[in-house]
Amino acid sequence: MFLITCPFCGEREQSEFKAGGEAHIVRPKQPTELSDDEWAEYLFMRKNIKGIQFERWNHVHGCRKWFNMVRDTSNDQIKAVYKMGEKPPVK
Amino acid sequence: MSNNLRFKTSKFIDETYRVSFKFNNKTYFGFKGDTLASALLANGIHLVGRSFKYHRPRGIMTTGSEEPNAIIQLHDNSSRTEPNVRATEVEIYEGLVASSQNCWPNVNFDIGGINNLLSPILPAGFYYKTFMWPASFWEKYEYFIRKSAGLGKSPKVADPDIYEHKYIHCDVLVIGAGISGIMAAKMAAKNGFKTLLVDEKSYLGGSSIYDNSEFSKINNQITSSWLEKEINEISKIENLEIKTRTSVAAFHGYNFLLARENLTDHLPINQRENKVRQRLLKIRAKKVITATGSIERPLIFDNNDRPGIMLSSAIKKYIDLYGVACGENNILFTNNDTAYETAMSLIQRGIKINAIIDIREQIDSKISYEVEKNNIKIYKGYSVVDTYGYRRINKISIMKLSKDGQTVIGDKIKLNCDCLGISGGWTPAVHLFTQSGGKLKFREEDQVFIPNVYPSDQISIGSCNGDFGLDEIIKNTLSSIKKFLDIDNSEYKAVETISGLNQSKRNIWLLPSDKSIGKTKSFVDYQNDATAKDIKLALREGFRSIEHVKRYTTTGMGTDQGKLGNMHALGIISETAGTKMGEHGTTTFRPPYTPLTFGTIVGRNVGEFFDIFRRTPIHDWHVANNAEFENVGQWKRAWYYPKDNENMHQAVQRESKAARDSAGILDASTLGKIDIQGTDSSEFLNRVYTNAWSKLAVGKCRYGLMLNEDGMVYDDGVTTRLGENHYIMTTTTGGAANVLGKLEDYLQTEWPELDVYLSSVTDHYATISVCGPNSKKIVSKVIPDLDLSDEKFPHMSFKNAKIDNIKCRVMRISFTGEHSYEINIQANFGKSVWEKCMEAGKDFNITPYGTETMHLLRAEKGFIIVGQDTDATLTPIDLQMDWIVSKKKYDFIGKRSLYRSDTIREDRKQLVGLLTENPEEVLEEGAQIVADIKKSPIEMLGHVTSSYYSPNLKKSIALGVVKGGKNMLGQKLIIPMENKNINVTVADPVFLDKEGERLNAKL
Ligand SMILES: [Zn+2]
């Protein structure tokens, strides 16, 4: 079980959190302008990487804030956590 | 009973404290300090169970958690019964009752033993190959297989014991209190680390604590004496917590570990009352030191499973620690020096050793010379080729090994014995290390897997790290702990060790036989009866991956997870396939290390604490008035209120009729309520609902439909504008938490620029809905100051009011199609307001109704229930709710998806009404809907989602989803049921009062 550092609360057990899928997928500002394929790309297509992955997490049983995490999915090492809207601190 | 098996030599056994216990209905005696296994052995009992597949007689093999054979049932037929318990781990207590498993009628005569004779036709994968065809026969086979196979019996009544969970945070966790674990714990604690030391045994010191041999000394003291002083010292260190009888079950990532602390299992049953039996420790450690030791390997040869065949180290421990001789005519069979330690322990007590069979040609160690000096015959370069004796070993035959160890040569020599100790060297207990994600490496010299890459801040020390010699263990423990903890002071001055053992070993995974492999039964996994022959067969049949071989042969799949034989399975595979060890991978050790009872896993979360019940503020009234309850999420909701001897149908018919004829009252407190404030609240609602919200006047209510981004209906409910920048949103009962989460997600991630604040207020308000033609009269009696005229208080509007000076919100909204009011009041006044309404409604036959009637009433009106009529595959268009989808709004969640090529298909499943040909016939919810029953296969068009008998319409009504249903109005369809086909006609989903005359009637 991970020990996750919430950017707002600090270290907490994984059981307080909820994973929210891939990070940095921005909802299109003008969905009506998009073709079916472009909209489907936003809606359905997600990476499932073995290695460094950018993910959304929610401190759902804590401060309820969403934040981003950089995680190596091959060994579950959490490389960084950062607030929504911030740039990823590692590549 | 043999009296000469017990030796008064052990300080672990209290001979003044006799303990009586029952095994297979017979009473025996042991002493305090005994395990069930040691007590049975002291009584001359080796045969304790039957094997899983062949029902072969099996005896005690080991002294610990690795035991594959001595698996017993505790307290059969009592509430405290527990199956699959290792006799080697049970500390005896007065009144202990144990029985053999997997045998019928008893362990000495077992009918299943016939499988042993049938074994030529019971090869690996036998069950898969035979009983899977024809598939329809499986049920019959299964009955017999389950009866004759299978381990213990599960308890039939609730567990009377108490269990609990506890979190522990420490700087350093040391797993295993053997010599290296104790040293590590002392070094950590004395250097200021908050340290926890755990061990699965009841005592500290591991196998060194009974090492009284002259051949291994520390600082010129007998090992056990040196260690006793160490234990005495660490027990006084303040920041060191020591827990015995505590077995680490799981080692997860980020140094999170689960351990089971056993608190009462060693006590007589009558001393366990009101005490916690076991505690599940949830440990988060900054650093973990694994010192779990090693497990002796058996040797794999023909008939290596008879009762009386034991690990050599077990024989040593039984005599040294428990003072019990396992046999009176012993033979030891080994490939390394440790068996000579066992020999010395036996020699010292004058217990007879007939011979030592050593597969090594050359043996060169002080201890072996000492054994030879005692006139023990050592057969060097020999191997055991067979054993004899059905319920107990009585003889072995040995032959000379060829130089390459591939065959046996020369004459067969027969030797008598009643106990055979075997030693194939040692396997580091790396189970927890691999559970944590650690990677192993294979060490060629002595054929062991040892830790290589650590995935977290942890280290393995001692023999679980592949350090077997006393000297090596101490030296490496000191240096690696110093480095691991980054400390200068090791707490130890120079430690000198002496050992009479050599680490030389001759490794042969499968010992050769004079018979062909097909005629041998060389057990690799004792518990699952997997033999070397089975593994070879699996390889011949094309299996290569260890994970596949394991599943096909069931090697390592018992409750012991193959702690003894897994290495041999790997060895035999690589020898047979001609590959290197490790190339086929190692099997994955999964938690728990030893089985856990369900009680430990669930802890206090049993009975009413299993899941939280949420009760409305009016709950007690429902209970007092005979309500039946329905679970909706965690809520207990009143389902219906049977009167006299009414069944559910009768009650619901009465309630439904009363609600439309006069007045009904519903506890709607469970509906989700979200308070929305902020200057952008209207804009926010515009974005999350399909319809428009900007023009909703203060004091008005509106129904809203919420979609997922994929266009599918997610939730619905009425939202009321309380003020310019203030709304209260209601959600479905089950959707409340998820809707709040979803709204927060969008606010925080997509639209952080919006000035909107959300608070869940579901529990803060009680909601009472009064409906029906007399609802207005009733509410006017309860709130006389409120003007209920249609002009002042029209449908879909809201008013602040007061009941007995308590503020409340009243909405005129309706889920039944009747004139109705919803009173929202601070939760703790809910019950008294409900009672006021009941009192006020007395003259109008006000009838409390539950969720079932609510469902019926709304179905008459064709109102959907999200989650019942929808299943995340329906758009508002599919639901024929086009009217609620704004065409003007530029965007809202899910809008773009409503005209994807897939969502605009005409043949999507769409919501329709269904009327049965026979109006008395009520459809089953979930039933399939078809058009043509002659076509094969029959095309499924959809299914029934809601179905009721309507007392107000006096006919059966149903809602369902049907492919292309929108354009099928009036069309005949068929509901095929088990015994009949029901004819239905597609109808408008609004069955009652489509024009809304009831809702708008002047009252
Ligand atoms: Zn937080």
Is B787 an 8 Å CB contact of chain A? no
Q: Which two tokens stand for residue B124?
A: 């690996």
Residue B712 inside a domain? The answer is: yes
Residue B562 inside a domain? The answer is: no
Of B741, B890, B891, the CB nearest to A60: B741
Residue B848 inside a domain? The answer is: yes
- SS3 labels along B409-452: EEEEEEEECCEEEEECCEEECCHHHHHCCCEEEEECCCCEEEEE
Cβ pair B42, B19 in contact under 8 A = no
- Using the mean position of ligand 1's atoms as its centre, give its distance from the Cα of residue A8 in Å: 5
Is B284 an 8 Å CB contact of chain A? yes
B169 to chain A: which residues are within 8 Å by CB? none
User: Number of folded domains in chain B?
Assistant: 5
We report the CATH number of the domain holding residue B993 as 2.40.30.110
Q: Do residues B318 and B439 both lie within one domain? A: no
Which ranges in B132-288 belong to alpha helices (H)?
138-148, 179-190, 223-234
Residue B861 inside a domain? The answer is: yes
Q: Supply the pLDDT for residue B143.
A: 54
How many C-beta neighbours within 10 Å does residue A10 have?
9
Closest chain A residue to B169 measured between Cα atoms? A13
To probe the interface with B, which of A8, A44, A66 has the most B CB atoms within 10 Å? A66
Q: pLDDT by residue (tens digit) across B413-455? A: 999 999 999 999 999 999 999 999 999 999 999 999 999 999 9
CB contact under 8 A, A30 and B897: no
We report the CATH number of the domain holding residue B410 as 3.50.50.60
CB contact under 8 A, B900 and A36: yes
DSSP-based three-state secondary structure for A8: coil
CB contact under 8 A, A65 and B748: yes
Which of B465, B482, B499 is the last residue before a domain boundary? Answer: B499
Q: Chain B, 808-847: which have a CB under 8 Å from a chain A CB?
A: none
Whether the model clears a pTM of 0.80, i.e. scores above it, the answer is yes
To probe the interface with B, which of A24, A42, A43 has the most B CB atoms within 10 Å? A43
- Using the mean position of ligand 1's atoms as its centre, give its distance from the Cα of residue A67 in Å: 9
Residue B929 inside a domain? The answer is: yes
Q: Do residues B86 and B187 both lie within one domain? A: no
Chain A positions contacting chain B at CB under 8 Å are 1-3, 13, 20, 26-27, 30-32, 34, 36, 39-40, 43, 56, 58, 60, 64-66, 75-76, 84-85
CA distances from B658 to B353, B650, B662 (A): 92, 12, 6
Q: Chain B, 939-998: which have a CB under 8 Å from a chain A CB?
A: none
- Using the mean position of ligand 1's atoms as its centre, give its distance from the Cα of residue A82 in Å: 12
Cβ pair B818, B771 in contact under 8 A = yes
- In this structure, the strands spanning B448-453 and B439-443 are antiparallel
CA distance A51 to chain B (A): 15
Of B506, B509, B507, residue with least CA distance to B573: B509
**Cα–Cα distance between B171 and B1002 in angstroms, integer?**
75
B256 to chain A: which residues are within 8 Å by CB? 1, 3
Which residues in chain B show pLDDT less than 70? 1-3, 9, 102-105, 107, 109-150
Q: Do residues B864 and B923 both lie within one domain? A: no
Q: Do residues B990 and B854 both lie within one domain? A: no
- Using the mean position of ligand 1's atoms as its centre, give its distance from the Cα of residue B491 in Å: 41
CB contact under 8 A, B745 and A66: yes
Q: pLDDT by residue (tens digit) across B693-720? A: 999 999 999 999 999 999 999 999 999 9
Cβ pair B311, B69 in contact under 8 A = no
Which ranges in B436-587 belong to alpha helices (H)?
470-485, 532-540, 546-553, 566-577
A2 to chain B: which residues are within 8 Å by CB? 253-254
Q: Do residues B731 and B853 both lie within one domain? A: yes
CB contact under 8 A, A30 and B891: yes
Cis peptide upstream of residue B134 (ω within 30 degrees of 0): yes
Which of B454, B475, B499 is the last residue before a domain boundary? Answer: B499
Residue B549 inside a domain? The answer is: no
Is B252 an 8 Å CB contact of chain A? yes
B753 to chain A: which residues are within 8 Å by CB? none
CA distance B709 to chain A (A): 7
Q: Give the bridge partners for A54, in sequence order.
A: A70
CB contact under 8 A, B253 and A32: no
Q: Supply the pLDDT for residue B551.
A: 87
CB contact under 8 A, B891 and A2: no
CB contact under 8 A, B900 and A76: no
Closest chain B residue to A28 measured between Cα atoms? B750
Range of the structural domain that residue B215 is part of: 162-294+428-499
Of B791, B854, B856, residue with least CA distance to B822: B854
**Cα–Cα distance between B368 and B464 in angstroms, integer?**
25
CA distance A36 to chain B (A): 6
Is B709 an 8 Å CB contact of chain A? yes
CB contact under 8 A, B896 and A34: yes
Q: Supply the pLDDT for residue B53.
A: 80
Cβ pair B10, B323 in contact under 8 A = yes
Strands, E, within B746-805: which ranges? 757-760, 765-771, 797-803
Burial class, B498, CB count within 10 angstroms (exposed 0-12 / middle 13-18 / buried 19+) = middle
**Cα–Cα distance between B789 and B23 in angstroms, integer?**
83
- Using the mean position of ligand 1's atoms as its centre, give its distance from the Cα of residue B351 in Å: 66
- Using the mean position of ligand 1's atoms as its centre, give its distance from the Cα of residue A56 in Å: 13
CA distance A49 to chain B (A): 19
Q: Supply the pLDDT for residue B546.
A: 84
CB contact under 8 A, A3 and B284: yes
CB contact under 8 A, B745 and A2: no
- Using the mean position of ligand 1's atoms as its centre, give its distance from the Cα of residue B455 in Å: 26
CA distance B292 to chain A (A): 22
Is B439 an 8 Å CB contact of chain A? no
Residue B69 inside a domain? The answer is: yes
The amino acid at residue B917 is E
**Cα–Cα distance between B805 and B799 in angstroms, integer?**
15
Q: Give the bridge partners for B675, in sequence order.
A: B728, B759
Q: Do residues B807 and B661 both lie within one domain? A: yes
Fold designation for A3-27+34-83: Folate-binding fold (3.30.2270)
Cis peptide upstream of residue B937 (ω within 30 degrees of 0): yes
DSSP-based three-state secondary structure for B172: strand
Q: Do residues B415 and B441 both lie within one domain? A: no
The amino acid at residue B306 is R
Q: pLDDT by residue (tens digit) across A41-82? A: 999 999 999 999 999 999 999 999 999 999 999 999 999 999
Q: Supply the pLDDT for residue B1.
A: 40
B454 to chain A: which residues are within 8 Å by CB? none
Of B709, B745, B901, the CB nearest to A43: B709
Q: Supply the pLDDT for residue B374.
A: 96
Is B273 an 8 Å CB contact of chain A? no
Q: Do residues B718 and B624 both lie within one domain? A: yes
User: What's the CA angle centered on B595, arms B169 and B339, to 5 degrees?
Assistant: 100
- SS3 labels along B183-221: HHHHHHHHCCCCEEEECCCCCCCHHHHHCCCCCEEECCE
Residues in Cβ contact with B556 at an 8 Å cutoff, skipping those fewer than 6 apart? B525, B528, B550, B562, B565, B566, B569, B587
CA distance A85 to chain B (A): 8
A86 to chain B: which residues are within 8 Å by CB? none
Residue B788 inside a domain? The answer is: yes
CB contact under 8 A, B744 and A39: no
Can you tell me the ipTM of this complex?
Answer: 0.98
B457 to chain A: which residues are within 8 Å by CB? none
- Using the mean position of ligand 1's atoms as its centre, give its distance from the Cα of residue B411 in Å: 76
